[in-house]
A and B are shown apart, each in its own frame.
Chain A
Amino acid sequence: AQKITQTQPGMFVQEKEAVTLDCTYDTSDPSYGLFWYKQPSSGEMIFLIYQGSYDQQNATEGRYSLNFQKARKSANLVISASQLGDSAMYFCAMREGLRTGGFKTIFGAGTRLFVKA
């Protein structure tokens, strides 16, 4: 069964507008972490934001925020004021068993974001 689902293979957004990239996850572990990574065409993986399952508040990092809805098992990434440099592949990822020593990180299939000028 897919543990991380990203239903949007590709998305377009106008420069300076906000965009939401969807991510749903499946786990029975109460202790887990959710991540978003950006992969530009150059290939490197860039860490964007992290949300822990016990965190009470939604994570924010500059123009990135994570809309964490635990009951719905969703962890959507919101990018505000999109820039041309935001055009890239975005991966949602999850690491289970944070309190029991789990290190395995599972990635979703990714969403390719295109920012239009």
Chain B
Amino acid sequence: AAGVIQSPRHLIKEKRETATLKCYPIPRHDTVYWYQQGPGQDPQFLISFYEKMQSDKGSIPDRFSAQQFSDYHSELNMSSLELGDSALYFCASSLGGRSYEQYFGPGTRLTVT
């Protein structure tokens, strides 16, 4: 079965650079969630989209922005990167706004040097 695809899987950036993470949800899934998981920490909810509209917002820094496109894929744009942004970034998708099962992608490991 098709799963959530995230690209790139690994990314190394320098401070103050920008990064774009991409997420391709499971086919027919219309809801996308973004999470940030620091080393040894639990995942922190950043933002979600349902039917291409932002549906909820968590602890996403102002330096980050995200959107969901017409084909339901989503991109997380991160600017002015800081060392503290180094983390594993997960995208998850679900079918329908009230579907409870979130299927996670493999994550993008971002390292900021």
Residues of A whose CB lies within 8 Å of any CB of B are: 33, 35, 37, 43-47, 50, 52, 91, 95, 98, 101-110
The 4 tightest CB contacts between A and B, nearest first, are A103-B56, A45-B104, A107-B42, A103-B48
A residues near B31, Cβ cutoff 8 Å: 103
Query: What band does the interface of chain B fall in when counting residues whose beta carbon is under 8 Å from A?
Result: 20 to 34
Given contacts A103-B50, A104-B48, A106-B45, contact A43 B97 (CB under 8 A): no
A residues near B56, Cβ cutoff 8 Å: 101-104
A47 and B45 within 8 A (CB): no
**Residue in B closest to A44 when the chains form the complex, CB atoms:** B106
B45 and A105 within 8 A (CB): yes
A107 and B104 within 8 A (CB): no
B residues near A110, Cβ cutoff 8 Å: 42
Residues of B whose CB lies within 8 Å of any CB of A are: 31, 33, 41-45, 48, 50, 55-58, 88, 90, 92, 97-98, 100-104, 106-107, 109
**Residue in B closest to A91 when the chains form the complex, CB atoms:** B42
Cα–Cα distance between A48 and B54 once the two chains are bound (Å): 26
For A37, A50, A104, the residue with the greatest tally of chain B CB atoms inside 10 Å of its CB is: A104
Indicate which residue in B33, B57, B100, B107 contacts A35 across the interface (CB closer than 8 Å). Answer: B100
In the assembled complex, the CB of B20 is this many whole angstroms from the nearest CB of chain A, namely 21
Contacts A35-B102, A103-B56, A107-B42 given; 13 further ones with Cβ under 8 A?
A37-B104, A43-B88, A43-B109, A45-B90, A45-B107, A46-B104, A47-B101, A50-B101, A91-B43, A105-B33, A105-B102, A106-B45, A110-B42
